Amino acid sequence: MNRVRRTLAPYLLVLPGWLWLLLFFVVPMATMFSLSLQQGDIVNGYRFTGHWQNYLDAVADYRTQLLRSLVYGLVTTVALVVLSFPVAYWIAFYGGRRKPTYLFLILLPFFVSFVLRTISWRQILTDDGMLLHPLKQAGLLPDGFHVLGTSYAVIFGLIYNFLPFMVLPIYVALERIDPRVVEAARDLYATPLTAFRKVVLPLALPGVFAGVLMTFVPASSDYVNSSVLGSASTTMIGQVIQVQALSNSNYPMASALSFTLMAVLLSGVFGYARMLGTQDVMKVAAR
């Protein structure tokens, strides 16, 4: 009796959550995949035709936006690694007793709505806003100078919004490094740079990888930053998908685009995860 209960226990514990994920994650993905191969419209209904043409059309029509999203995502991610590393490094090695306070400060933006933060940047960066207006008045900027509506503004917004997701995992990796390992390298006459390159950096790489996973996917599929800070020439694929799904109710097209994006992003993610093991990444992700 007791043994039966013990072997059943994990299944009973897992069942409700597992069903939820099955019904509302796995099934919708399958529905979406099936829709991506259908033809028709919202009024007359959809028929399953095994219509791969949707994918070809999707890629042909929106290649520019798809590529742009990946480029923005990549630029953002690379910039994030460069910008976040020193912050994570300083907190991990010199933060001392104040480490939790610094991490808390890094996380402060999360207490304000993502949409509100992004709109706030629009108000700062707008042509007659508090940043550009005084500079233009002082004659420091040419009249036609804009920030808003450019790809710089969109990438700036992406970097801003995802920075904590890069600092945190790198910090976690650096925090685990025993300072004595670095001291040992120095005792063996490594220069500070060599010690960093040969000891600290390799140990920090899993954190960098985790950070890349946590920022590349949301950054390349984001549509809030490009809608709020960008213009028609900075449209990202997320905006296209959103319009196709919500405004045009063109579900087959939205589904085909979504699957294309998902395939590109997740093949990268799983390639990474294979190299590193998912456990480590999830541990960092859950912090």
Partner 1 sequence: MSPTRRSRPAGERAMFAYTWLVIAWLVTPILLMIVFGFNDPHGRYNQTWQGFTLKWYAKAFEIGDLTSALVLSLTIAVVSALLSGALGTGIGYALGRYRFRGGDTLNLIMFTTISSPELIMGISLLTLFVTMGVGLGPVTITIAHVMFSISFVATVVRARVVTLDRSIEEAAADLGAGPWTTFWRVTFPIILPAVFSGVLLAFALSIDDFIVTNFTAGTAVTFPLWIWGATRVGLPPQVNVMGTLIFTAGVLIAVVANLRSRSRSRRD
Interface with partner 1 in residues 114-133 (CB under 8 A): 114-117, 119-121, 123-124, 126, 128-130
Q: Binding residue for partner 1 (CB under 8 A) from 53, 231, 250, 278?
A: 278
Helices 151-175 and 201-221 meet at what angle, rounded to 10? 140
Q: What are phi and psi of 253, to 5 degrees?
A: -65, -45
Residues 190-229 that bind partner 1 (CB under 8 A): 213, 217-218, 220-224, 228
Region of 140-148, 169-177, 200-208, 264-272 interacting with partner 1 (CB under 8 A): 264-272
Residue 54 Cβ vs partner 1, minimum distance, rounded to whole Å: 13
Residue 64 Cβ vs partner 1, minimum distance, rounded to whole Å: 18
Residue type, 148: L
Residues 176-195 that bind partner 1 (CB under 8 A): none
Residue 66 Cβ vs partner 1, minimum distance, rounded to whole Å: 13
Q: Binding residue for partner 1 (CB under 8 A) from 75, 243, 262, 276?
A: 262
Residue 47 Cβ vs partner 1, minimum distance, rounded to whole Å: 13
Burial of 7 (0-12, 13-18, 19+ CB in 10 A): exposed
Tell me the CA distances in angstroms from 279 to 5, 178, 268, 270, one per residue in order.
Answer: 28, 22, 17, 13
Is 83 an interacting residue with respect to partner 1 (CB under 8 A)?
Answer: yes
On whether the CB atoms of residues 89 and 196 are closer than 8 A, the answer is no
On whether the CB atoms of residues 281 and 208 are closer than 8 A, the answer is no
Q: In 3-state terms, what secondary structure has residue 40?
A: strand
Residues 225-254 that bind partner 1 (CB under 8 A): 228, 238, 241-242, 245-246, 251, 254
d(CA 284, CA 211): 9
Is 40 an interacting residue with respect to partner 1 (CB under 8 A)?
Answer: no
Is 2 an interacting residue with respect to partner 1 (CB under 8 A)?
Answer: yes
Is 145 an interacting residue with respect to partner 1 (CB under 8 A)?
Answer: no
Is 166 an interacting residue with respect to partner 1 (CB under 8 A)?
Answer: no
Q: Binding residue for partner 1 (CB under 8 A) from 56, 78, 82, 105?
A: 105
On whether the CB atoms of residues 220 and 73 are closer than 8 A, the answer is yes
Q: Which CB, 102 or 151, lies closer to partner 1?
A: 102
Which of 168, 156, 166, 127 has the alpha carbon at shortest distance from 144?
A: 127
